[in-house]
Structure 1
Amino acid sequence: MDIQSLQPNPVWKYFAQLNAVPRPSKKEERVIAFMMDFGRSLGLETFKDRVGNVIIRKPATKGMEDRKTVVLQSHLDMVHQKNNTTDFNFEEQGIEMYVDGDWVRARGTTLGADNGMGVAAIMAVLASEEIPHPPLEALFTIDEETGMTGAKGLESGLLQGSILLNLDTEEDDEIDIGCAGGIDVTATGTYQQKRVPKGARAYRLEVKGLQGGHSGMDIHRGLGNANKIMNRLLYAGSKVGDLFLIGIDGGGLRNAIPRESNAYFALSNREQDVLMAMKELIGEIRKELAPTEPELQINISEYENSGMMMGEEDRDKLLRAVYGVHNGVFAMSRAIDGLVETSNNLARVEVQDGRIKIACLTRSSVESAKMDLAGGLTSVFALAGYEVTLSGDYPGWTPDPDSEILKVLRAQYRLLFEEEPRVVSCHAGLECGILGSHYPGMDMISFGPNIKGAHSPDERVQISSVQKFWTFLQKILLEIPGA
């Protein structure tokens, strides 16, 4: 089935057009140009700010000129993840989509529904001559997925709206009124390379088949982290005999739970004992993770010796440091039942050519708790002798249960769907916290269609939910209060 034939047709049409444009974070030149051309083709005021965010203004439909101006906001970039077996160039190719029952998926890659569905819905509103709406400002931000630099760089006073609808959440029965903040914790170090002892046999250890997912929205699900699994196996092997570590390549993007990791090592002393110990542990790990990771694969195969390795002391420091790094939920909220307050994602472990890099994304809805966990991670890395950098810090979004726009959304949701929406604060990082720092008086809310597996090649968006989301968005625009 052709994606553009799905309903609501305008949303799917623009989603397909958007997904034909490569749009990696920090390399959004083509999608910025695409959006500028789109706004100008409609004859609407269209411009980009100093960092590359695109703003398109559309006057109110007749009879709604006295309503408050609404900012419709989504981000242009998408997370790039693919299966190891998928041959795909995100910087050159458009996303290959297909229909699977009530879902739209991509072939072996992330889909870009996060946040492409929000972008497409805004485009459909801007292009429509039939949807009643108040004065609109469409804000398309850049680089949300790797630092939120678009939101951070937005100038105060540029926007005229007093209400912001962020279309970047992933459960269609939820209305979000708050989110976690985050900070990147990155450790780097070096090691003296040594030659692998003569006669040692080299192996490749491969962890794959994990679900992965969004390091905020999915962190509570008990999913496996390929970097932690890999480290656990290497550590166990090193305690049995001489394990000479050659290199590690694990995980990828900071906001994606690592699905795959590869390590290379050599054995000489007690070779069979080491392999047996690792294989026994593989069986135990599979049993532990069977409820959440039924497709987990861990393989050991012989590998052509590269000749160079990490010394024993440096190896032990690395494996102990990664073992000591907290991964997953750190604390649950004391204020909101069921909400993850603080977490860490051990996103990337890279050991190659005398260099070490370990990258984490720490999140919390409580600023002091975020920095406390970041301090703990820093201490673990510092004990191993690594240099630690804290970067990409962004604030959370403090919930306002008395928000006027929240009252509008709750009332219209009940009217349309005859049930009560779930009003929540999420553990993901939304741009609302940053945008609110530039526009402290703006009334903000976030909602969206059902999207599963975001930040992984299993990402999919529900067709029937997009219909629900589109109906809800149109009704909200109709009911915006007067200025």
Structure 2
Amino acid sequence: MSQEIRNLEPKVLWNKFADLNAVPRPSKKEERVIEFMKQFGESLGLETFEDEIRNVIIRKPATAGMENRKPIVLQGHLDMVHQKNADTNFDFDTQGIDMYVDGDWVRARGTTLGADNGLGVAAIMAVLESKDLAHPAIEALFTIDEETGMTGALNLKGGILQGEILLNLDTEEDNEIDIGCAGGIDVTATRGYEEEETPENSVGYKISVKGLNGGHSGMDIHKGLGNANKIMNRLLFDGFENFGLQIAEVDGGSLRNAIPRESNATVIISGIYDEAFVFDMQEVIGDIKSELHTMEPNLSITIEKCDTPAKVMALGVQEGVVRAIYAAHNGVYRMSPDMEDLVETSNNVARVVIKDGTVEIKCLTRSSVESSKMDLANALRSAFELTGCEVEFGGSYPGWTPNVNSEILDVLVDIYQKQNTDKPDVVACHAGLECGILGTNYPDMDMISFGPTIKGAHSPDERASIKSSQKFWKYLVEILENIPVKN
């Protein structure tokens, strides 16, 4: 790891981030980072423990003169999204993130950076280690599995935390203060199918979609970015409609909360349509690239001959599956009528796998309104069930209802205006912050979310602003000094 990262200011923040990024920490495989964080807390002589689900809690007493202030919870999640470019040779299970400085940005070489939520976690670590920062009594709450199910937040029991105010450090625009967020639900469609022998005189082709930006399926869903699964399905639909294309295999997307960047398919065409198929596909590819040129200038779609697969999907099942994926809504479903420019409800067609007699389609549906979330989830369910799929809902978590009368919100707004020349944007976001979930067991806790500017989260283009991180650290330090007095 480059020493230049550790030399960035503020060093207390970037050194902790470098330490954290040396520890592999994929969602659902957090054992190493849990032990890392426990050893960190214990090395400081602070009360450190796990709860039943393996969230880590570290408690630090108030500094002299701050004992009369309300106790606070500083909260971030330990796991990170693991995404890499197809041509990047990297093992997330064994390697630390390879970071470098690019102007005002810290990036990773060909992978996600882990600034989401690593910078927030690093800031909490720096506060815990500090000897000269003024602050009230602190509980540092490091949750697990935020990115793939909010498991840590969902299973944190009431009565463990003693704080009255929670500062969630997981927002990605430094001029925003978040007071609300979307809830979500996983929609998973599956079905089996009989494979059949490939007809004689068939020609095999491999279709690849790559080069898309990808990104956060909540924060970036309104940008009109390309979805590799929807693009691939469009190509398969056209090939089937016009030339009787049959699918041998499809593998598209990865994580439910990442907009799919790549998809690959192996298909067959009757030899009599060989040239016409390729010609037609190039026209469709041209149309897609033209439509997405502004947002996806690096989109690459290739069609190459390959060995003819021995078995393919039966046309009757294939027709229903392809039409269902075409019908499945992707992107913004409804904008909020109450908050300007806020996406209320959306869906990400995140993962499509067709292989060895099994179809699996995974979606993540988000909404800040519970009824609208379920409305869209049921629309997706209906489309998939019409083609014979079994549909399961899972991982449902609530949104976070904004509290415009929050006492800590007033503190943050005042400090931001004092430190900067403009006012902060007080917003609700379309991402799934843990505040809404934590609030179910801690309904009286005053919660707020803020953080440094991070771009491209959940994709290999993820990058963190150095200048913004300095702004964020200065902001956090003054917030800690100005926590309200106990009632």
What band does the TM-score fall into relative to the shorter chain?
over 0.9
Q: Which runs of 5+ in 2 are unaligned?
A: none
Greater displacement, 272-281 / 179-188: 272-281
The answer for the alignment partner of 2:414 in structure 1 is 411
- 2-side partners of 1:429 and 1:252: how far apart? 18
The answer for the alignment partner of 2:245 in structure 1 is 243
1:273 aligns with 2:284: no
- 2-side partners of 1:242 and 1:367: how far apart? 42
1:253 CA drift (Å): 0.1
1:389 CA drift (Å): 0.5
AA in 1 matched with 2:78: L
The answer for the alignment partner of 1:364 in structure 2 is 367
- 2-side partners of 1:460 and 1:241: how far apart? 43
The answer for the alignment partner of 1:175 in structure 2 is 177
1:213 aligns with 2:192: no
Percent of residue pairs bearing the same amino acid type: 63
- 2-side partners of 1:238 and 1:162: how far apart? 59
User: Quick one: which of 441, 459, 462 aligns to 1:459?
Assistant: 462
1:152 CA drift (Å): 0.6
Question: Which secondary structure state, in structure 1, belongs to the residue aligned with residue 173 of structure 2?
Answer: coil
Q: 1:342 touches 1:365 (CA, 8 Å); kept in 2? A: yes
- 2-side partners of 1:57 and 1:438: how far apart? 19
Q: What whole-Å deviation, never above 9, does each CA across 1:61-104 have from its counterpart, x for those lacking one?
A: 00000100010000000000000001111111111100000000
1:198 CA drift (Å): 2.0
AA in 2 matched with 1:40: E
Question: Which secondary structure state, in structure 2, belongs to the residue aligned with residue 239 of structure 1?
Answer: helix
- 1-side partners of 2:266 and 2:404: how far apart? 52
Task: Report 1:112-191 matches (<5 A).
Answer: 112-191=114-193
Question: Which secondary structure state, in structure 1, belongs to the residue aligned with residue 242 of structure 2?
Answer: coil
1:73 aligns with 2:75: yes
1:23 CA drift (Å): 0.3
The answer for the alignment partner of 1:390 in structure 2 is 393
1:60 aligns with 2:62: yes
Task: Report 1:315-334 matches (<5 A).
Answer: 315-334=318-337
1:277 CA drift (Å): 1.5
Runs of 4+ in 1 over 6 A off after TM superposition: none
Q: 1:237 touches 1:275 (CA, 8 Å); kept in 2? A: no
- 2-side partners of 1:240 and 1:67: how far apart? 70
- 2-side partners of 1:195 and 1:129: how far apart? 71
- 1-side partners of 2:378 and 2:199: how far apart? 39
Q: Which runs of 5+ in 1 are unaligned?
A: none
Q: 1:240 touches 1:270 (CA, 8 Å); kept in 2? A: no
1:226 CA drift (Å): 0.3
1:242 CA drift (Å): 2.3
Question: Which secondary structure state, in structure 2, belongs to the residue aligned with residue 316 of structure 1?
Answer: helix
- 1-side partners of 2:414 and 2:167: how far apart? 16
The answer for the alignment partner of 2:431 in structure 1 is 428
The answer for the alignment partner of 1:263 in structure 2 is 265
The answer for the alignment partner of 1:41 in structure 2 is 43
The answer for the alignment partner of 1:297 in structure 2 is 300
- 2-side partners of 1:184 and 1:48: how far apart? 27
AA in 1 matched with 2:124: I
- 2-side partners of 1:306 and 1:45: how far apart? 60
Tell me the TM-score normalized by structure 2: 0.99
Q: 1:242 touches 1:270 (CA, 8 Å); kept in 2? A: no
1:154 CA drift (Å): 0.4
User: Quick one: which of 464, 469, 478 aligns to 2:472?
Assistant: 469
Task: Report 1:10-29 matches (<5 A).
Answer: 10-29=12-31
1:199 CA drift (Å): 2.0
- 2-side partners of 1:410 and 1:474: how far apart? 14
Q: What whole-Å deviation, never above 9, does each CA across 1:362-416 have from its counterpart, x for those lacking one?
A: 0000000000000000000000000000000000000001100000000000011
1:430 CA drift (Å): 0.1
1:442 aligns with 2:441: no
Q: 1:69 touches 1:163 (CA, 8 Å); kept in 2? A: yes
Q: 1:328 touches 1:345 (CA, 8 Å); kept in 2? A: yes
AA in 2 matched with 1:154: L
AA in 1 matched with 2:152: G
- 2-side partners of 1:12 and 1:197: how far apart? 59
Q: 1:396 touches 1:433 (CA, 8 Å); kept in 2? A: yes
1:307 aligns with 2:307: no
Q: What whole-Å deviation, never above 9, does each CA across 1:162-210 have from its counterpart, x for those lacking one?
A: 0000000100000000000000000001110011112211000000000
1:343 aligns with 2:329: no
1:482 CA drift (Å): 0.6
1:240 CA drift (Å): 1.2
- 2-side partners of 1:418 and 1:340: how far apart? 28
1:47 CA drift (Å): 0.4
1:230 aligns with 2:232: yes
The answer for the alignment partner of 1:105 in structure 2 is 107
AA in 2 matched with 1:189: R
Question: Which secondary structure state, in structure 1, belongs to the residue aligned with residue 142 of structure 2?
Answer: strand
Q: What whole-Å deviation, never above 9, does each CA across 1:2-30 have from its counterpart, x for those lacking one?
A: 21110000110010000000001011000
1:6 aligns with 2:8: yes
Q: What whole-Å deviation, never above 9, does each CA across 1:321-357 have from its counterpart, x for those lacking one?
A: 1000000000000110110000000000000000100
- 2-side partners of 1:275 and 1:325: how far apart? 27
Q: 1:48 touches 1:55 (CA, 8 Å); kept in 2? A: yes
1:239 CA drift (Å): 1.2
Greater displacement, 309-318 / 273-282: 273-282
1:147 CA drift (Å): 0.3
1:274 CA drift (Å): 2.0
AA in 1 matched with 2:329: H
AA in 2 matched with 1:185: V
AA in 2 matched with 1:176: D
1:278 CA drift (Å): 1.4
Q: 1:240 touches 1:273 (CA, 8 Å); kept in 2? A: no
CA RMSD in angstroms comes to 0.6
- 1-side partners of 2:49 and 2:485: how far apart? 27
AA in 2 matched with 1:232: R
